[in-house]
Amino acid sequence: MKKIVPIGLLIVLLTGLVGGCIGGGPDTTIADELEERPSLSMLVDALTSAGLYDIFGEEGDYTLLAPSNDALESLDERYASDPALLEQILTYHVLEGSYSASKISQSQTLATLQGEDIEVKTTGSLSIGGASVTEQDIECTNGTLHVIDAVLVPPSIEETYIDYTFEDGAGREVTIEKVPERVVSLASSATEVMFAIGAGEKVVGVDKYSTYPEEVASRPNLGSGSSLDMEKLIELEPDLVVIWYFYGDAIENIEQRGINVMAINPASVSDIYDEIELLGTILGFEENAQDVIGDMQARISEITDYVDTIPVEDRPTVFYETSQPFKSLNADTFTGELIEMAGGINIAADEESRYPVLSSEWIIQEDPDVIVVLSYGASVEEIKARSGWGQVSAVANDRVYAVESDLVTSNPRLVLGLEQLAKWFYPEYFE
């Protein structure tokens, strides 16, 4: 919120003081005082249209913190255009009872008619909720009037209207005006993150790949980004849809229906931290998000700290197989990063293709110490039975393992995957 500081602040303050002291008993209402001042004309209009003006012409005892025209003009358009919001904001400027400037200075907070409190700061000059007083202690028959140089917005409204702009995983500029309350997640990673940071209540619909945590099962299933149940999505009235970056068609389609879409593309562990932080920010769970990140970092460094003590040549070589036989992944992939963090030497790390299909004989020659296969790929028995693999160290030493795909992809549970990998790579240390 911008604050306008008039140049002749001191002079105006002095004038007000003198006026207040010299005059005898007040004989005007707050309404009269407002009418007299052209610099408050916009406030009069606003109060009138909100149906609040009349009370200031009647008997009573109020304190009105009157924002000047300049202040009102710089009020955010989103608030100004919404009558309900405007009414809340205006009542936030009214205090029950008459408060002089000196009485205000002695208070920490002021209870407003709107219900929320205003904070008062007296260090240096007097600041009421961040606004400076430009004309104070205008005594009236039904209360006191102070002119201030900024519009005060209730914290509850400010928290909701975050107006946060960022670049999403698909390189699109996304602006979140209001904290989303109904989120559809078409990306399992985001689903898990939202539940992990405690924002699971806001998740009203998920894709078919979102299966964790268990509560997800109770949410409507919308298919996937490539086969989206658009009718159900519209019916759910989400104010935000989170989706994988590669579903370009779905992104466009949802966007065209006026629903905010945010694409995610977490390609590394640090991207996951960013994703958690971002979702924390826009959903209003910053602190939880920081806790989750902190916890992850602590558990990860427990592993990496140990791995750092192992010389590279003593680390186990690893062949990682994805869902398709002989198909591995290189160092530029998410799982590739996890393997390295867990202290494994991925034999396919330097391959040019991100997901290379490797020659059987080359794998035999590389003689991996550990083989990890995605649980829905080939079975462990199948791998052990492969022609010519009997002599491979991992097979000979019975170190072929199947890993749940959810644990080695971009979601907060990657920590579990990492711990699992570390146990397989360094059983004597991590068991």
CB distance 127 to 148 below 8 Å: no
CB of 264 to another protein, least distance (A): 19
Q: Which of 252, 294, 376, 397 binds another protein (CB under 8 A)?
A: 376
Report the distance separating Cα 1 and Cα 337, nearest Å.
43
Shortest Å, Cβ 217 to another protein: 15
Residue located via tokens 């140089």 = 149
How does 303-333 read in b/e, with b if 16+ C-beta sit within 10 Å?
bbeebeeeeeeebbbbbbbbeeebbbbbeeb
Question: How many chain residues bind another protein (CB under 8 A)?
Answer: 33
Q: CB under 8 A: which stretch of 151-159, 171-179, 229-237, 353-361 binds another protein?
A: 353-361
Binding of another protein by 388 (CB under 8 A)? yes
Q: Is the dihedral of CA 90, 95, 97, 101 positive or negative?
A: negative
Selected binder of another protein within 232, 405, 416, 429 (CB under 8 A): 405
Stretch that binds another protein, among 3-11, 55-63, 198-206, 388-396 (CB under 8 A): 388-396
Q: Which of 15, 324, 397, 427 binds another protein (CB under 8 A)?
A: 324
CB of 390 to another protein, least distance (A): 7
- Residue 42 in the binding site for another protein (CB under 8 A): no
The phi-psi region of residue 343 (left if phi > 0; otherwise alpha if psi is between -120 and 50; otherwise beta) is: left
Which of 386, 402, 423, 429 is the binder for another protein (CB under 8 A)?
A: 386
Closest CA to 271 of 357, 351, 167, 360: 167
Residues from 200 through 229 that contact another protein (CB under 8 A): 227
Does 272 contact another protein by CB under 8 A? no
| Alpha carbons 30 and 143: distance in angstroms, whole number | 7
Q: What is the DSSP string of 21-77?
A: HHS-S--S-HHHHHHH-GGGHHHHHHHHHTT-GGGGTSS--EEEEEE-HHHHHTS-H
Name which of residues 175 to 204 contact another protein (CB under 8 A): none
Applying CB under 8 A, does 323 fall inside the site for another protein?
A: yes
Check residue 360 for interaction with another protein (CB under 8 A): yes
Task: Rule CB under 8 A: say whether 60 interacts with another protein.
Answer: no
The residues, ordered by sequence, that sit 6+ positions from 115 with a Cβ below 8 Å of its Cβ are 154
Measured distance CA(340)–CA(304) in Å, rounded: 9
Piece of 70-78, 243-251, 373-381, 419-427 that binds another protein (CB under 8 A)? 373-381
CA pair distance 160, 156, nearest whole angstrom: 6
Of the residues 105, 156, 359, 397, which one makes contact with another protein according to CB under 8 A: 359
Q: Is 397 in the site for another protein (CB under 8 A)?
A: no
> Which is nearer to another protein, 28 or 405 (by Cβ)?
405
Q: Which part of the chain contacts another protein (CB under 8 A), choosing from 2-10, 70-78, 149-157, 389-397?
A: 389-397
Among 381, 398, 428, 431, binds another protein (CB under 8 A): 381
To another protein, the closest distance from the beta carbon of 215 in angstroms equals: 20
Question: Of the candidates 159, 362, 397, 427, which one interacts with another protein according to CB under 8 A?
Answer: 362
CB of 209 to another protein, least distance (A): 8
User: In angstroms, rounded to a whole number, what is the distance separating the alpha carbons of residues 302 and 343?
Assistant: 12
Q: Does the footprint of another protein cover residue 377 (CB under 8 A)?
A: yes
- Strands lying side by side in the sheet with 94-96: 94-96, 62-67, 143-148, 131-140, 127-128, 117-121, 109-111
**Location of structure tokens 């080695």:** 408
What single letter denotes the amino acid at residue 186? L
Residue 253, both tokens: 């389609």
The span from the CA of 193 to the CA of 170, in Å, is: 18
Report, in Å, the least distance between residue 430 CB and another protein: 28
Minimum CB–partner distance for residue 369 and another protein (Å)? 14
Binder to another protein among 60, 198, 200, 356 (CB under 8 A)? 356
Residues that bind another protein (CB under 8 A): 227, 323-327, 351-353, 356-362, 364-365, 367, 376-379, 381-382, 386-392, 405
